[in-house]
Amino acid sequence: MTIAIGDKLPAATFKEKTADGPVEITTEQLFSGKRVVLFAVPGAFTPTCSLNHLPGYLENRDTILGKGVDDIAVIAVNDWHVMGAWAQSSGGMGKIHFLADWDAAFTKAVGLDADLSGGGLGLRSKRYSMLVEDGVVKALNIEENPGQATVSGAAAMLELL
């Protein structure tokens, strides 16, 4: 079942690359008592993710944070090495969280997993964005076409804030 507005996020642990190496970050640490924009991509370094989805959030980071958002995070079903390399190559390291859902546990728990085997990617996340307040989903924007980043993009999120 897909998570819905008003639902509490399930407990999960992600890995994130930092200057000090990999760290584990839990949903409790990331969302408790905070207003967070979370967006998900099918894969780091993939064309739409790298050329459209991520850049919008990086370019609008300060504006989003200026609207009362405490943090921004991107999640993908990739390992933390890949997410860390993507953070560095995109210029996003230290600006937003690049969270590795390496085993797709969180992605499956929120019901937003997608079988992209036909495209050679295997099990991945659907492309989406959500506004989360104290662990509760306040807005959820799921892309119908994984090759687009319109309803889940930064411009659409800014309209909701």
Q: Would you please indicate which residues are annotated as catalytic (active-site) residues?
A: 49
DSSP 8-state symbol, 117 = G
Distant-in-sequence, close-in-space partners of 144: CB < 8 Å, separation ≥ 6: 151
* CB neighbours of residue 62 within 10 Å: 9
- Here the tokens at position 147 are 């090759």
Continuous segment of H or E residues that includes residue 48: helix 47-48
Q: Which amino acid is it at 116?
A: L
